[in-house]
Every structure is written in structure tokens, then in C-alpha cells.
Structure 1
Amino acid sequence: MPKTTILIVAILTVLIAIPLHAITVYAADVESQQVNGWLLWMTQPIVVTLLLCIASMGVVLQAFSPHFGFGGILSILALLFFYVIHMIAGYATWQSIFLLVLGVILLLLEVIVPGGIVGSLGFATIIISLLSSGTDTMHMAYAILTALIVLVLGMVIMMKFFGKKLNLFNKMVLNDSTDTEKGYVSNKNRIDLLGQEAITTTPLRPSGTAMLGEERIDVVSEGGYIDAHKKVTIIKVEGVRIVVRESHKD
């Protein structure tokens, strides 16, 4: 997992930082009044919503993929396009880029160190970054809400209709079952003791101890009181619970 984390963070940083740096250097010589109409159109709410929804769909695809692939790349490219356009237009800043990268790192740390707190901080940081990068805070809030709805619906569709399982949490959840078919035994079930006789060393009220040869065992009477130094017969073994019955009455 650490190698995957480093790879994703590196790709995200390179794809966002280097192009943005080159673009901002180029755009430094262009006055804000000369920004082309297409650039302003690309910052409109409907386009922003579409980009964030594409990023959400990429997250859904990546969440159900065992390795970093198409879904992750799709999300990165959608976010890259969003931040490039908004940085050229003068809305996004390097502070918002820093918040985005920080949020992604925190989300990746949540996979390594689960608990919920780190992941929640990462999610909140990404939301703040997006809100601070848009042309209008209210429009950005609606776009983010729409993208989150797409994210949730995508998750539900993948799990309910396609029967997919979240590979994202494979390292967070123990999937192996500790059953007897896989060689796990919670307590040794000593069925070989059935029918053997022992001598009580303490009164059974109804639990106590008895000697089986040279071995001291914990036993439980079938129901009634049995005095010490009485001969008992083992009639049932349930895990560590050994049930005995008095062999004879004095």
C-alpha cells in the first residue's frame, strides 16, 4: 500500500503542478480583460458540475478496482482540467492546489491508518479547495453536491446491480474467516474424554475441578451438587465445557 500511495500522490502532483506552473507563466502576460470567451464559458456552473461528476465517476471506478488504473486517471484528468481552467481565469490559487493535494494525501492515509478522522479531514480539505477555486461559492456548492450524489449512486449501482465489492477497503477489513475448514480452532474440543471417569477434587456447585488420571480439568456437574472426592463420568464435551455426572451414590 505505501508504494501505491506514493505513486498516486506523485502522479497527482506532477499532472497538476507542472502544467499549472507553465500555464500561469504563459498567462502572466495576458491581462484579465483579454481572457477568451471560451475560457469564461469553461468556468460556467454546468461545465464545472460536469467535470466534478466525471471526477466522481472516476472515483467510483477506482474504488472497485484492485489497482490504480483508468478510474484514478479519469479523476485526476478531470480535476486537472478544472484547476487549469480556473487558475488561468484567475479564480484558483496555489493555496487551493495545496489544499487539494493535502486532502488526497489524507484520504490515502485513511486507507493505511483507518479510523475515520484522517479521512474526514481529507474530504473536508478537498471540499474547501474546490469551493475556493470556483467563480461563485454557491454555484460550486451545488456542483459539489451533485457530484457527491453521482458518487453515491455510482457506488450503489456497482454494488447492487453489478455485485461488485469495494477493493478500496480490502486492506482495512479482515476478509479471512476463522473457521474449522481453514484450520482454525477456537478451543480444542476434547471429545476423546467422553465416557471417561474422573475424581472430583473440589465440590461441584455446579462447577469445580476433577482429576482425570494425572490431569486436572475444569468440569461442570449435570445439574446437582456433587461433593469432593467423588467418582464422576464425563457425559458431554462442548469446547472447554466438560459436563460430568456422578458415577454412583455412596
Structure 2
Amino acid sequence: MTARLLFLIWLATLGASLGTGAANTPVLTSSPRRVVILPIRDDIMPPLVYVVRRGVKTAMDSKADLLVLDMNTRGGRVDSTEKIMEILAQFPGESVTYVNKAAYSAGAFIAVATHRIYMAPESVIGAAAPIMLAPGGTGVEAMPETLEIKTTSALSARIRSYAQKNGHNPDVVEAMIDKQKELVIDGKTINEKGRILTLTNVEAEREYGTPPKPLLSAGTVESLDVLIDKLAGPGAYKTVIQPTGAEKLATWINALNWLWLIIGVAGIYIEIKTPGFGLPGIVGISAFALYFLGSYVAGLSGLEWPALFVLGLVLVILELFVFPGTVLLGLAGALLMIVTIVMAMVDIYPGNPALPDLPQLKLPLRNLGLAAVGSAVTLFILSRVLPKTSLYGVLVSQSASGVRSVETEAQVQASRIGREGVAISVLRPGGKAMFGDEVLDVVTQGEMLPKGTRVRIIGHSAKEAIVEPIEPSNPVAG
């Protein structure tokens, strides 16, 4: 009995203490929320894609709670708009658009790709029907009827999918694109057939349906700062992404990335084939630098890929000039260079798998294929034509390291004719051979010779000595 009474007293005391503690415990304030602000200004063109990609990756890296688009645009290119919408979809947190005066055309598309839309006083959104620019961008010309129907249908479906995903009314969005769309809600005609829907901030926030729901806008807010205070609270940590001049430069660099690869391969090939280090090597290295610079500025890759590319190039050089015939070094280097070239074009976001999937590899592999074909054709032409032209002499004589002139090199090559030596690597048909105490790059006339074969110099091709076997059936051991 006593034990039971003590137990009941203990329960009462525990309950009182818990109740008092709960009543007196202060509400813990969380740390300031992180907000990344992305300005969407002027025309929506390719440079803006790079800005948005950088902004989204910054938000993901910093684990931002809120991504805000500060928008004032009259529209822009459809391809850039669709890419921006795809990039925004990668952000795992909450995304918001603040229509800071205007979100016409492509701007309305991008706004729908965010979770909520707020508007400034006297702002507008809509008028998103596709148009076709006249040649040279001098104006707008009539779109052929079939093309207009196809384009409108495709865009409507694409934008409806984003609207449905983010909780916006897909009928409202479709009425902004398709002039054949009549929009009637609660018996009230919002948009007549034959017109393109454009909404003011007041119209966009009007509520319809049961239960009442805003037409498109979650509300009118005086300023961007007020909106951030409303959504993230006072004292939020803000990061504003500002466009850079380099991102505009990266637009045309990346448009020609396959060409930089062709020039890079051709430049390095000519450099290997000519004595010393000169103009071809500088051009080749510069072309590869432009390729990786474009990917870096566009936000596609970091500095790790160009660094690994240089490592691969070093391995190939070691294979050619230091350890000829080992194969493994050259193979590893070439494979590393190819992988870095592909990965520099892959768009990978923080938190996503490090290895890309097939859709992510589609564009990089296409560009690599174009570059491979172009390089093969270029190298074939150069190997046949370049040694016979005066340009070859200019390239050789302009060596940056001050090596022998063309005339001196020709004299040295002529003096080697008839010299005999020993292959110090397998000739496939190229390789290395020792002539006295001098090691030369040599090439046979097509046959493969094992290491140790005695050979004789019979001519030259660029900087390589052409050799023939002295005793093809009795190679020298060692």
C-alpha cells in the first residue's frame, strides 16, 4: 500500500515538473535562413543560362533554403528558356519568382517553373505566345500556320507540365500561350478566344474556385526585400548572383567547342612532328585552354578536369619521348584525356551521382564525335600536304625554344642518310632507335620491327628518320 502511494506521488510530481518545464521553456530560434537571389533581367539569351546554372549550383552547395528569381524581362529565346527551366528543377529547396515589373513571354514560362509567384505593384505577367524573328533579328515576321500550330502545341504541353508540378493553374498558363484557348472560371470569362492572356498583379492574385485560390500570383509585395523578410524572416543570409562578362564570352566559346578540339589536336600533332616547341604547340594548347575555359565559365565543370587533362597529356608525352614502347603510359594518358574532354561538358549538380547517365552524355559524345571526325580529316590533310608547303618551314623556324633553323635541320638530316643503328623500342611502324650515342624518332616504311633490329636511315619525314631493316630476319638481342 505504501509503495503504491509513493508511486502515485512520484507520477504526480513528474507530471507537474514536465508541465512547468514545457510552459517555461523558451522557443528556440533557428539560425538565419539562406537565400540566393538570381536576377532575370533583359532578354533571355544563352549567357543567362550560365548565370542561372551558377546560381542554382551555388544555392545547392550552400544548402540555401530559398531561391528567388528577381524578374524583369520581355522574353527571349525558347531554347535558352527551356534549359533554364530544367536547371531550376534541379534545386531541391523552395523556389520563388518575384515579378519586379514584367514577366512577358519566356519570363512567364520561367516563373511557372518555380513553386510560387509574387508580383510587385503595377507589374504584369503573360503574353507568352511564340513568335519568329526576321532574319538578322530586325523584327518579327509571320509564322507559317503549320509551324505556329506545332510550336504552340509543344510549348503548351511543356509549360502545362511545369504548372501542374508546381501547383499553378495549367489553364491560365495555356491561355498565355495559345490564342485559341478560352479561359472561363466560376462562370466569368478571364480570357476570350482569339486573345493572348496577360495579367496585372491585381488580376493575377484574384481568387476563384472552391476553395478560393489565386489565379496565378500568391500576392503583391512592395519590394524584393519585403518579400524575403516575409518568406525567410528578418536577418536572412542573402547571396546575390551577378552576371559576369566572362559568361557572355563563354557563349561563343562553347558554341565552337568541337572546333577547339580539332584545332587542339591538330596543333599538338604538328608540334610533335616538327622540331622544337613553337607556334603549333602554342595554338594547340590555347585551343584546349579555350575549350576548358568555356566549360568552366558556363558552370559545367571545375578546375579538376583541365588538371587531369594536363596529366593525361604528360603521360602521352612520356610514352612518346621518355619511355617509348611501354604502351601502358600512352594508353592511360589518351584515355584520361578523352574522359576529361567528355566530363567537362557534362552538367552535374551538387548532391547528384558523380557518374553521368546516358542523357547527360548525349551532347558531350556528339561533340566528341564531331571533333574526332574533324581531327581525323584535318590530320590526314596535314600529313599529306603540310610537309610540301612553305608553311612547314615557317612553323619549324618559329620554334619558341630557339632550336635549329630549317636550313640547319636539313643539313643535319642529310648527314644522317646511311647511318646504321639499333631499334631501342618496337617500331609500329614508329618508335625510337639508337645511332651511336644519339636517340632518334624513326619510322619504317610500313612494316613492324621488333626491338633490337638493326636499321639504316634512308630518308626523313618531317622530323622522323625513315629507316629500313639491315637484317630483318636476324634481329639483335638486347
TM-score normalised according to structure 1 size:
0.50
Which is helix-richer, 1 or 2? 1
Higher strand proportion (structure 1 or 2): 2
Larger relative contact order (C-alpha < 8 A, sep ≥ 6)? Answer: 1
Q: TM-score, normalised by structure 2?
A: 0.28
